[in-house]
Amino acid sequence: MLQTSVKPQSSAGSATHDGLGHYCGLAAAFAPDGLDIARTLFYMLFAQQHRGQESCGIAWEEGGLLRSDRRLGMVANAASDWQADATRSRVGIGHVRYATHGGGGLANAQPLAVDCNKGRIALAHNGNLSNGVALRAELFDGGSIFQTTSDSELILHRISRSTAVGIEAILRDALSGVEGAYSLCLIWNGALVAVRDPMGFRPLHLARHGDAWLVASETCALHALGPMDWREAEPGECIVVDDDGVRSFFLEPAPRRSRCIFESIYFARPDSYVFGRSVHGARMALGAAMALDDELRPDVVVPVPDSGTLAALGYAQASGAPFAFGLTRNHYVGRSFILPSKGERDLAVRMKLHAVREVVSGKKVVIVDDSLVRGTTSGIIVRLLREAGASEVHLRLSSPELKWPCYYGIDIPTREELISNRLDPAGIAAYTGADSVRFLGVARLRAALDAPESEYCCACFDGHYPCPVYQGS
């Protein structure tokens, strides 16, 4: 039996970046003797709030029922009662969602929970299927009825329609022909199942915590519950946790791996490990790589908080220039200031970021951010620094020029909106008012993170899509 509850609430998300969004974060737990499921998932999702602020949800088994609770808004605001919820369950999964692909609203909030011919199944998905449009059309033409516009529902349909027998055979069958990015957590007739797509686009981790097994997109969600041993799920690995313990099998291998390099550049939390390496260390390495190629000798290196902080620190250490917080950030700015009309954008950025005169006045300033999207915020930041007395302002980006859309789970503005498709670095300097602008090249990026083309996706920078993309995906 299936019981669901949905609770609308005004969204109170707070974007921290000029136009990029992540699609989702996952959390899951299994304990043979049961655990406080809502409470456990609350803390794991709270730690991954940066991966999606539009909606949050949990699903769990209770007394033979599969139950779910999905809400609009951020975990701390929309679901604070989960902290005090004493519901005991052996298995649960959770999800935070950033809604652009497939649209927002409660209907698309996850986990999705269904009764089907394979039993009671709940599913939470991080990623985007690059052939989702074609798969949906095929199912629709075959008579399937959809309740959401998200491509995650396609996976449930394919599981239900499979004629194979047993979790392993059904998953192999259902996921063959599914292309793109999918890290999944499922409750499947009382078992916890975690799946990472064969190309390994999105991170997924497994940990042991006392008697419980935990799964999360990022390790920060695991460590929110205390210290524990963890490991990364391998690309293509399907992990089943049930009363018999933990076992793995693998989907058909892909010809290459395609870990999303943007997880290390911007999306993941700095204290997390993704793809087997520290995000903190990765961002420091990117900053250092930028400094190696830069003949500039700045008086001070200033980060754009918080996204540029670690790259600026790496740049400062490698260049020998002092690091200082020449911009402070107001952490109380809510969503009302995030998407203002064009005329109000300047004011909105001024409400959020403030230049520190004492740090930048009379100085040749290098300002560091992780990436450049539309360029509008950067222009205002340059102006703020000049108003505070900076004699020169040089903009440095710890990633290459962002030029291409992502079909694998990151929301990137259209090609026309991306400033690097309209202007070269000299043009961007003129547009933003900076004295110079430099990006980290793709080759330097790959070298700094030891991320060869056979292992990592850089398609939004170089247009080399690791698996086919289709119009409308």
CA dist., res. 239 & res. 214, Å (int):
11
Residues whose CB is less than 8 angstroms from the CB of residue 149 and which lie 6 or more positions away in sequence, other chains included: 102, 103, 107, 108
Q: Of residues 27, 37, 109, 459, which one binds ligand SF4 by CB under 6 A? A: 459
DSSP-derived secondary structure letter, 19: S
* 406 makes contact with ligand SF4 (CB under 6 A): yes
Q: Does 373 bind ligand SF4 (CB under 6 A)?
A: no
Q: How far is the CB of 328 from ligand SF4 (least distance, A)?
A: 29
CB of 24 to ligand SF4, least distance (A): 13
Among 460, 467, 469, 473, binds ligand SF4 (CB under 6 A): 460
Comparing C-alpha atoms, which of 29, 2, 8 is closest to residue 109?
A: 8
- Residue choice 301, 458, 467, 469 for contact with ligand SF4 (CB under 6 A): 458
372 binds ligand SF4 (CB under 6 A): no
**The only residue of 201, 213, 275, 439 in contact with ligand SF4, by rule CB under 6 A:** 201
Q: Which stretch binds ligand SF4 (CB under 6 A): 44-52, 260-268, 273-281, 359-367?
A: 260-268
Beta carbon nearer to ligand SF4, 240 or 460: 460
Residue 262 found at the interface with ligand SF4 (CB under 6 A): yes
- DSSP string covering 264-325, please? IIIIS-TT-EETTEEHHHHHHHHHHHHHHT-----SEEEE-TTTTHHHHHHHHHHH-PPB--
410 near ligand SF4 (CB under 6 A): yes
CA separation for the pair 356, 421 (Å, rounded): 32
Collapsing DSSP to helix, strand or coil, 241 comes out as strand
**Is 24 an active-site residue?**
yes
Choose one: 8-16, 114-122, 257-265, 352-360; the region binding ligand SF4 (CB under 6 A): 257-265
Should residue 261 be labelled a site residue for ligand SF4 when binding is judged by CB under 6 A? Answer: yes
User: At closest approach, how far in Å is the CB of 3 from ligand SF4?
Assistant: 36
Nearer Cβ to ligand SF4 (261/349): 261
* Beta carbons within 8 Å of 331's beta carbon, 6+ residues apart: none
Task: Say whether residue 418 binds ligand SF4 (CB under 6 A).
Answer: no
Cβ–Cβ contacts within 10 Å for residue 463, how many? 10
As to burial, measured by CB atoms within 10 angstroms (0-12 exposed, 13-18 middle, 19+ buried), residue 278 is: middle
- Rounded CA-CA distance 384/393 in Å is 10
Residue 181 CB, nearest distance to ligand SF4 (Å)?
Answer: 7
Q: Which residues bind ligand SF4 (CB under 6 A)?
A: 201, 260-262, 406, 408, 410, 457-460
